[in-house]
Amino acid sequence: MPYNVQEWLNLLVRWFHVFAGILWIGATWYFTWLDRRFHTTDPDEVWMVHSGGFYQVRRMKSPSPEHNLHWFKWEAALTWLSGFILLVLVYYLGGLMSDGEPGKLNNRQAIAAGLALLVVSWLVYDLVLARDNRLAMIGGWFLIVATTYALDRLMAPRAAYMQVGAAMGTLMAGNVWMRIIPAQREMVRAAREGGQPDQRLADRAKNRSKHNTFLIMPVLLIMISNHFPVALYGHSYNWLILGGLTIVGWIAADIVRRQ
């Protein structure tokens, strides 16, 4: 691929990826804040002011058949898709998966390992870690550190960081499309058929959304990591630095979430 074409594709896809991510992260944190307000101030409604207008938001137990429901799902899909395209353009096609060091994988082998990581990460998270919040937090942290450590010894450090970030982004998108949205659809179906939405589905969907608010922090760190090769991916203890900053990010996320 000609360099000019690749650079333009890189620019446009990256721009799109950042914008879609802003929409997704903004919606996630807005509803996290909103749900918290319903639990700490008024259980029925929240009043807000923004851009010269006043807004009253009410929480309902079931959807009204007279109003359209606004779903927040395409932001996640477009963020993940554009991120994967960037991964292919910059790293897979750009030959950046391997740095040529002895004992490491070549570019094709590193690509195969990266793709396998996306699948295995989701299976481990969905079938094991997501079942318990403490396990998800503690086990997830150890897996982030261990995976970064292992990949750093199999492929280029910069690619290792990006593959770990892509894996966590895949977990976030999988939560939205494979767990949160199906649960919401089932709740809407039950309500519109005159039944009572299953609260267990609501709790499970909310829990996966909570996981996403924490996964956002290391994912954002990795997204900007290629600007800091000395401090982050290029450091000999890059795996430990990522682990430490992940904890810092999670503490910050928990503080903001509780405001």
So where are the chain's domains? 3-257
Sequence letter at residue 98: S
Q: Measure the CA–CA gap between 85 and 145, rounded to whole angstroms.
A: 25
Cβ contact 238:147 at 8 Å: no
pLDDT of residue 61: 76
pLDDT of residue 85: 95
Model confidence band, residue 6 (pLDDT cutoffs 50, 70, 90): confident
- Closest C-alpha among 219, 221, 241, 243 to residue 230: 241
pLDDT in tens, 179-199: 999 999 999 888 888 888 888
Model confidence band, residue 172 (pLDDT cutoffs 50, 70, 90): very high
Q: Which residue has the higher pLDDT, 19 or 45?
A: 19
**123 token code pair:** 């299976």
pLDDT in tens, 200-231: 998 999 999 999 999 999 999 999 999 999 99
Burial of 177 (0-12, 13-18, 19+ CB in 10 A): middle
Q: Which residue has the higher pLDDT, 115 or 7?
A: 115
Q: State the CB neighbour count (10 A cutoff) for residue 247.
A: 13
Cβ contact 188:67 at 8 Å: no
> Among residues of the chain, what percentage have pLDDT more than 90?
69
**22 token code pair:** 């802003």
Q: Measure the CA–CA gap between 228 and 199, rounded to whole angstroms.
A: 45
- Three-state SS at 55: strand
- Three-state SS at 100: coil
| Average confidence (pLDDT) over 92-118 | 95
pLDDT of residue 69: 83
pLDDT in tens, 32-86: 888 888 877 767 788 889 988 998 888 877 777 777 888 888 999 999 999 999 9
Q: Which residue has the higher pLDDT, 258 or 49?
A: 49
Chain length of the chain: 259
Q: Measure the CA–CA gap between 186 and 33, rounded to whole angstroms.
A: 24
CA atoms within 13 Å, Cβ hemisphere of 139: 15
pTM of the model: 0.91
pLDDT of residue 218: 97
